[in-house]
Amino acid sequence: MNDYLAGLTTEAVNPDTLMIDECTTEQMVQLMNQQDALVPAAIAKEIPQIARAVDILHQRLSNGGRMFYVGAGTSGRLGVLDASECPPTFGTDPSLVQGFIAGGDIALRNAVEGCEDDADEGIALIESIGVTNQDVVIGISASGSASYVIAALAKAKERGAATIGVCNNKGSKFEPIVDVCISPVVGAEVISGSTRLKAGTAQKLVLNMLTTCTMVKLGKTYNNLMVDLKASNVKLIDRSIRIIMSTTDVDASTAAATLERASMNCKLAIMMLKTGLDAKEAEQALYVNSGRLKQAIASLA
């Protein structure tokens, strides 16, 4: 028996759900809801570490770096999910935030057993994607013990990248090798060892914070509006129009027409309406201000 794994909080048996197989359906749902309610408090204890991680990400990405998630199983899928949401939400280049899972893309849909134990593949990943000392690599593993992830983090650190660990146990194998370790301890799972449950929920919330707060600091929002969204479908075009209306007090037809003149760039349309500049002039003002809309508007006041 592996003493490390046996001692993990995420492997413990939950005394509050021992008799779940004898519960009514409503009782089962209530038990899960009660356990899920513990997750935000666990994350609250990690806020200082999450803030440190965001500041590292902001500094590196502001200077040409990239952000890589590396995980296995549920953790890997959550990293890929969070990375894939950044381009439509914040208008980022797909290369800026990337997610990788042990076993490759096939593991997104199918369990590929054993790949999380392959340290050589973790090293090969870091080499193949060309991690440098400008980048940040974020390893995700509920146990903090997946060899694939640990090896990837160690190799990234060797190359000078900043390293961040996200796990659900204190005293994990992540701690000695990362610059920041974020460890929300959510306790034993409803079904013993099924870390797709509370642990997965905690990881999802942490990853939300890392990318969202970093993107806000990079100027990807105006107040709390996603002005850098890609207006690539009916819903997002409609959202862009509503954002333009709410920030500039114009009517829907004016908002839609300006969005067209701005080549469907919501942020640029707002800049044009707020300042009276044409598209080219507004684009230049945004460029000079590193894409920060509020700062660009203020610079012309």
Q: Which of 11, 26, 46, 85 is catalytic?
A: 85
Sequence-distant (6+) residues with CB within 8 A of 165 are 138, 139, 140, 141, 144, 153, 172, 174, 175, 177, 178, 180, 181, 182, 183
Sequence-distant (6+) residues with CB within 8 A of 216 are none
Sequence-distant (6+) residues with CB within 8 A of 117 are 146, 147, 148
Q: How many CB atoms lie within 10 A of CB 42?
A: 19
Q: Which of 17, 47, 12 is nearest to 34 (CA)?
A: 17
> Known catalytic residue: 46?
no
> Known catalytic residue: 189?
no
State how far the Cα of 256 lies from the Cα of 294, in Å rounded to an integer.
21
Phi, psi dihedral angles at 275 (to 5 degrees): -115, -15
The phi-psi region of residue 166 (left if phi > 0; otherwise alpha if psi is between -120 and 50; otherwise beta) is: beta
- Per DSSP bridges, beta strands 162-166 and 67-71 are unpaired
- Can you state the angle between helices 266-275 and 279-288, rounded to 10 degrees? 100
b/e sequence 86-101, b meaning 16+ C-beta within 10 Å: bbbbbbbeeebbbbbb
Q: Which of 46, 116, 121, 189 is catalytic?
A: 116
Q: Residue 71: what residue type? A: G
Residues designated catalytic: 85, 116
